[in-house]
């Protein structure tokens, strides 16, 4: 792979988001953590100066083979970095904990709460390596994505807390009301450990959440159903795909952010790809 073909940017697609680029080439990638969810595809988006190489990986596999608690997050992020990716956007489906965030809303959260229970959430199995995670998303990339989505017709909501639950079940009404009462905006099943693993690899990372439903505690009657979530995401997936193509094509490759300095004063227990 030449330097021109090496992708600086990567997109990890969520439920219902299994394709991003046309005329893309698949790359099988081996990692120390096993295979990623699918072969990484590399294609291009247009910029003012010509085509830009971009990598894409469907988080759950091409046929949604992997439920949230079985996604090999470590392999996914490692595979992207080994191909040259340094900036990652993670679109995902999320339930709304705020009645003002209706299905179809796009939210770029600025905070995350981990309520998962059984996931491997670090590359640092030995040694003393503790990364700063006070702000779980790259502040520069998050800001740039918001600024570029708005003029592109994204109608994006800037900020909010996304609580990540273990899954694969949806929340009870009591859990949903608890999360909402704490002022959190979104509930999701895949945002963690993806964000912290990206930070440990020194990658810039931000999530973009597509609201698919009002969570169980916000409404009376039937709770959240899988068919409802998938139907709403399918309705908006092409809009999100095209919007992110425009956004990725306009982002700067320059990384003047804390993500590039996350390993300062650390001795890593492995060599970064």
**Each residue's pLDDT tens digit in the chain (273 positions)?**
666 678 999 999 876 676 788 778 999 999 999 999 999 999 999 888 889 999 999 999 988 999 999 999 999 999 999 999 999 999 999 999 999 999 999 999 999 999 999 999 999 999 999 999 999 999 999 999 999 998 766 679 999 999 999 999 999 999 999 999 999 999 999 999 999 999 999 999 999 999 998 888 777 666 777 778 778 777 878 888 889 999 999 999 999 999 999 999 999 999 999
Given this model, what pLDDT does residue 256 score?
A: 94
Given this model, what pLDDT does residue 252 score?
A: 93
Measured CA to CA, the distance from residue 84 to residue 196 in angstroms comes to 19
Beta strand segments in the chain, E: 9-13, 25-27, 40-47, 50-58, 87-96, 106-108, 111-115, 156-158, 161-165, 186-188, 204-214
In the numeric block, which tokens belong to residue 58? 């469907």
Given this model, what pLDDT does residue 218 score?
A: 77
Given this model, what pLDDT does residue 36 score?
A: 98
| pTM for this predicted structure | 0.94
**Does residue 256 carry a catalytic annotation?**
no
The domains of the chain, with CATH numbers, are: 9-255 (3.40.50.1580)
Cβ(100)–Cβ(218) below 8 Å: no
Catalytic residue among 3, 132, 215, 265: 215
Given this model, what pLDDT does residue 221 score?
A: 61
Given this model, what pLDDT does residue 30 score?
A: 95
Given this model, what pLDDT does residue 16 score?
A: 66
Name the phi and psi angles at 74, rounded to 5.
-65, -45
Given this model, what pLDDT does residue 3 score?
A: 60
H or E element, residue 144: helix 139-149
Given this model, what pLDDT does residue 185 score?
A: 97
Catalytic residue among 213, 256, 264, 265: 213
**Does residue 114 carry a catalytic annotation?**
no
């Amino acid at each position: 792979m030449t330097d021109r073909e090496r992708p600086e940017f990567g997109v990890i697609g969520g439920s219902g988001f299994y394709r991003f680029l046309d005329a893309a080439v698949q790359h099988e990638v081996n990692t120390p953590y096993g295979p990623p969810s699918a072969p990484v595809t590399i294609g291009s988006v247009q910029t003012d100066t010509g085509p830009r190489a971009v990598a894409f990986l469907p988080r759950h596999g091409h046929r949604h083979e992997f439920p949230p608690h079985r996604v090999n997050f470590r392999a996914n992020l490692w595979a992207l970095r080994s191909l040259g990716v340094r900036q990652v956007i993670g679109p995902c489906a999320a339930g709304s904990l705020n009645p003002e965030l209706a299905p179809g809303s796009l939210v770029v959260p600025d905070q995350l709460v981990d309520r998962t229970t059984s996931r491997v959430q670090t590359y640092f199995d030995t040694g003393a390596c503790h990364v700063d995670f006070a702000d779980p998303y790259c502040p520069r990339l998050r800001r740039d994505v918001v600024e570029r989505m708005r003029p592109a017709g994204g109608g994006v909501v800037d900020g909010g807390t996304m609580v990540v639950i273990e899954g694969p079940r949806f929340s009870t009404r009591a859990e949903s009301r608890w999360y909402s009462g704490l002022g959190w905006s979104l509930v999701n099943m895949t945002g963690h450990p993806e964000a912290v693993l990206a930070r440990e690899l020194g990658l810039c990372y931000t999530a973009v959440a597509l609201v698919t439903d009002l969570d169980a505690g916000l409404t009376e009657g039937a709770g959240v159903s899988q068919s409802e979530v998938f139907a709403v995401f399918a309705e908006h997936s092409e809009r999100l795909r095209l919007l992110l193509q425009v956004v990725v094509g306009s982002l700067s490759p320059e990384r003047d952010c804390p993500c590039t300095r996350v390993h300062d004063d650390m001795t890593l227990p492995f060599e970064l790809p």
